[in-house]
Amino acid sequence: MKESLLLAAGVLMAGLSATPVYAQNLTAHVDDGFFATQVQLDYTQINSGGNLAAFIPTGSDSEVCLVNLGDSGTLYGGQISPPVCIRRTYNGIKGVVVLIMPYVTPLLANVTVRVTLYQKGAHFYGEPVLYPSL
């Protein structure tokens, strides 16, 4: 019994050492560090289409961006869509547009939404302004 257990352990170890390691050829990229912030958006960023479209200057033109409603998602329930972030240059300034669309009813005239925002390579997060082009 003891001999067969040792034999099984030896076969297992030999199998593990013969298994190719696929991650060897992956290249790690130097990240710019994780620099995120919370941004409060409000009714002043509602465009003519009834969507909340806010441009936030960041100084970065990376396509990699993430945005999350956080607690605002529970506050508005199913009334608003999950937010989307899109890289844009507006008036010569690099940054992102955060877009939130109402599902059924228009956004309230006094709406405020707090989002967590990240864009790779962001140097700063400026004050949000209306982005009228969406």
Residue 52 sits at the vertex; the CA angle it makes with 92 and 60, to the nearest 5 degrees, is 30
Q: Could you tell me the pTM of the whole model? A: 0.73
Domain boundaries, the chain: 36-130
Closest CA to 128 of 85, 82, 96, 92: 96
Confidence check: pLDDT of 7 > 50 = no
Point out the least confidently predicted range of 5-9, 89-93, 105-109, 123-127: 5-9
Percentage of residues in the chain having pLDDT higher than 70: 70
User: Which 3 state secondary structure label does DSSP give 5?
Assistant: helix
Rounded Cα–Cα distance for residues 44 and 41 (Å): 8
